[in-house]
Chains A and B, each alone.
Chain A
Amino acid sequence: MSTPVLEHPRESDRLDPAAFADAAASERDVAPLRAAIDRSCRGPVLWFFGSAVTWLIIGTVFALLASIKLHTPTFLGSAAWLTFGRVRPAHLDVVAFGWSAMAGLGCLIWLMCRLCRVPLRYPGVLVAAAVLWNVGVASGVTAVLAGYSTGVEWVEFPTWCAFILFIGFALVGLWGMMTFAGRRAGHVYVSQWYLFAVIFWFPWVYASVQILVLVSPVKGVTQESIHWWFGHNVLGVFFTPIGLATIYYLIPKVIGRPIHSYYLSILGFWSLALFYNWAGAHHLVSGPIPAWLVTVSAVCSMMMFIPVTTTAINHHMTMRGHFGVLRYSPTLRFVVFGAMTYTVVSFQGSLMSIRILNEPFHFTHHTIAHAHLGLYGFYTMVMFGAMYYIVPRLTGREWASSKLIRTHFWATAIGITAMFLLLSVGGMIQGFEMNHAARPLGELVKEKGLLDGTGEFFKGFKMKNGAVPFLAIVRDTIPWLWIRSGTGVLMFVGHVAFAVLMLLNLTGRGPKRQGPTLFSKDTDGYQRAFGSEESPAHTH
């Protein structure tokens, strides 16, 4: 394994989450502490994880309904509360604020305790936060289905529901700061930088959008700049940092090697902090907002190549020589799938913010495919991996069935890959047809007097000069939407498998921990995959 050349003896400590030089002694010293930390985390983290998985199932049902209604609008078409315009935001908000947020907060709590090396204190605060969060999401989704959405995408919950979520988040944030203040002396690992960024940044963006767009709205289109600053930052300063913090912790843990480079982690963190925040207006390319705003967001979106490449190099170089472990470890497989997808989806996103590449794909299913690749292909898969690692450590029981884990992995991995690729094709067809005109704009300006302000708007105009009539675009998109529903069913199967595994584990049906539940029973191969050296972390 390549180690960076470092002068100071303690520099090497910084790379290893365990932060001890003597492997054997370290395991003896730290294992009881680790066990105590895990035991103390049990209540709060399982509250968050259990709630998250429940919301995942509900959110996937809403997803299937929305997907079906896009190609078969008359499906359950008479129920007002299930109309597409309500069930689609219900899906988004449940998978974002129900599943993703609660999975992430559960990880945040456990990672904070492990990295501060102190058992969890004030569990009641965190359980209260989980309860409040569940109340906020449940009431918010009910309101949306009942017709009380605010109409602002990602912020559809009425403000009083958002306020409940805000209190829940604040409790977790305060707990995080108190835990950090009480940490055992030592270096602050890269994961914690990301988690702190979440604790400080997310409340700020959430409060800003609530106040400036809903409660006391600013005038006009500035609302949309703030709106999408928030919308992009839900990924940028909530889910992505938690996902990255989790990857940075779990890859070294599972393979028993430190992260390749501390300095790359620093570069990755700060360049993300600087650029990700500015990217929001790439949701409004060619929109009725100042051009400088779109340009600056496009530039910073492209600059995101820096943190994403940095992180990719760091993760890859850490994994190098250990890809064999992917055959065995569910945690590692989900996490590495997510980490690789993070690179792909971020590169795609950066490119999509350039005007000429944005024009054909804006407003199409291509964007939806991209969004799912990020929130599902990256973040959700990392969260699955995290739960596979963390839950047995909290309950003392391993997973009941490696067959169900295999079902979960393949159903979701194939599902999201197929969904992304095929829905992107559908979106490209939609976009190219929508943007292709029968006659060039210049000709129409001369003939109809458009743009120069002198002609009267020609009312009978529609569809004569678009090469493809709008209903033909709809017709051409439908087969791809059917395929997407199919991939959604596959992902749902994976989720059910996972929910069953969680239920079995939480209700005490699973082997007591001897070692991890692996994909394969080939334990000799598993040992060989780690190479010849023993290392502390591989005992899991």
Chain B
Amino acid sequence: MNHGPLIFLGAFLTFASAWLGLVFFPNQQLKDLQPQAVEGSAMVNPRPYTARELAGRDVYVAEGCSYCHTQQVRGGEYNADLQRGWGPRRSDPQDYVHDNPVLLGTMRTGPDLVNVGARFTGEAGTRWHYLHLFNPQRVSPGSTMAPFRFLFETRKVVGEPAADALRFPADWTAADGAPEAGHEVVPTDRARALVAYLAALDRTYEIAKK
């Protein structure tokens, strides 16, 4: 007996069932998810990314940050994500409605980043990120993060120093990358965009009860 068509049908049906289960039904459940409105204002949570933040997201993707950093807080009894201060609550599907592609990540060679913008804030946070990207080993002793010195430019100071030139602590030497006298280290546009994106990673808002 020729089993060919039967095998084909069986293979189709088993496979189609999984497509329904892992592709179609999840999409049906989640496709209408919207950011939630903030009472008394025009804002929504999570707020959409600005153009600069999106450019920074592209840098995050290009440099493969996801291969060491997750962007999901697990919550629950059997892990310490919340105790580590990675977020006030576990991550929710709503947190990712603006993300293309979604970057949940699969490895924690480094800490989770979904709320890094709530841990490093304002100008102090930005400056910390610049120094850390420039020389992670010097900022976090023992860190195995890749150095991203190529996101920065060392150049002669012409006139006034640049506003966002890196401010090196006094004990950094030339070996650490501190520039010689009369020179400054400035972030490239890619570095600025990346840090803007990191500052936008804040999903600490409360999920409204539905």
A, B bound = yes
Residues of A within 8 A of B (CB): 69-71, 73-74, 77-80, 83-86, 88-89, 147-153, 180, 188, 193, 196-197, 200-201, 204, 208, 212-214, 217-227, 229, 237, 270, 273-274, 277-278, 280-281, 283-284, 286-290, 293, 296-297, 355-356, 359-360, 362-364, 367-368, 430, 434-439, 441, 444, 450-451, 453, 455, 457-459, 461-467, 470-471, 474-475, 478
State the CA gap A461–B81 with chains docked (Å).
Answer: 12
For B80, the closest partner residue in chain A by CB is A437
Q: List 24 A-B contacts (CB under 8 A).
A: A71-B144, A73-B136, A84-B67, A85-B66, A153-B106, A200-B8, A200-B11, A220-B30, A222-B26, A273-B10, A273-B14, A277-B18, A286-B75, A286-B76, A286-B90, A288-B92, A290-B30, A363-B108, A364-B107, A364-B108, A368-B107, A437-B84, A457-B88, A458-B85
- B113 nearest CB across to chain A (Å): 12
Contact assessment for A220 and B97 in the assembled complex, using a CB-CB cutoff below 8 Å = yes
Whole-angstrom distance between the alpha carbons of A201 and B115 in the complex? 38
Cβ–Cβ contact A435 & B78, under 8 A:
yes
The residue on A at minimum CB distance from B141 is A471
B89 within 8 A of A: yes
Cβ A441 vs Cβ B77 within 8 A: yes
Task: List residues of chain B with CB within 8 A of the CB of A289.
Answer: 26, 93
Across the interface, A464 reaches (CB within 8 A) one of B29, B85, B105, B148, namely: B85
Pick from A79, A89, A225, A237: contact of B26, CB under 8 Å: A225
| Known A69-B146, A363-B106: A89·B11 in contact at CB below 8 Å | no
Contacts of A356 in B (CB 8 A): 78
Given A78-B150, A86-B63, A152-B101, check contact A466 B80 (CB 8 Å): yes
B56 at the interface (CB under 8 A from A): no
Question: A270 touching B14 by the CB < 8 A rule?
Answer: yes
Q: Mark B102-130, 1 if CB is under 8 A from A, else 0.
A: 11111111110001001101000000000
- Residues in A with CB closer than 8 Å to B8 are 196, 200
Count contacts between A and B, CB distance < 8 Å. Answer: 267
Question: B15 at the A/B interface (Cβ < 8 Å)?
Answer: yes
For residue A441, which residues in chain B have a CB less than 8 angstroms away from its CB?
A: 77, 82-83
Quick check: B7 and A219 within 8 Å, CB to CB?
A: no
Q: Which residue of A lies closest to B83 (CB)?
A: A437
Known contacts: A193-B7, A283-B106. The answer to whether A470 contacts B111 by CB under 8 A is: yes
Say whether B119 contacts A451, CB under 8 Å.
Answer: no
In the assembled complex, which residues on chain A have CB atoms less than 8 Å from the CB atom of B64?
A: 83-86, 88-89, 149, 151
Contacts of B159 in A (CB 8 A): none
Residues of B in contact with A (beta carbons under 8 Å apart)? 3-4, 7-8, 10-12, 14-15, 17-19, 21-23, 26-27, 29-31, 33, 60-68, 70, 72, 74-80, 82-97, 99-111, 115, 118-119, 121, 136-137, 140-150, 204, 206-207
Cβ-defined contact, A147 with B67, below 8 A:
no
Please give, as numbers and ranges, the residues of chain B lying within 8 Å of A462 by CB-CB distance.
84-86, 119
Known: A80-B150, A85-B67, A463-B85. A221 touches B104 (CB 8 A): yes
Tell me the complex Cα distance, A455–B94, Å: 20
A480 to B82, CA, bound (A): 27
Contact check: which of B76, B94, B102, B143 meets A471 at CB < 8 Å? B143
Contact call A84/B146, Cβ cutoff below 8 A: yes
Contacts of B97 in A (CB 8 A): 219-220
Are A219's CB and B30's CB within 8 A?
Answer: yes
Please pick, from B80, B93, B102, the residue contacting A434 in the complex, using a CB distance under 8 A: B80
CB distance from B32 to the nearest CB of A (A): 8
Bound together, the chains give a CA A78 to CA B107 distance in angstroms of: 23
Residue from the list B27, B60, B89, B101 in contact with A451, Cβ < 8 A: B89
Residues of B within 8 A of A281 (CB): 22
Q: Which residue of A lies closest to B111 (CB)?
A: A470
List 10 extra interface pairs beyond A78-B149, A85-B67, A219-B97, CB under 8 A.
A83-B148, A83-B150, A84-B64, A85-B68, A277-B17, A288-B91, A290-B29, A364-B108, A434-B79, A462-B119
Chain B: minimal CB distance from A84 (Å): 5
Bound: A213/B21 CA distance, A: 17
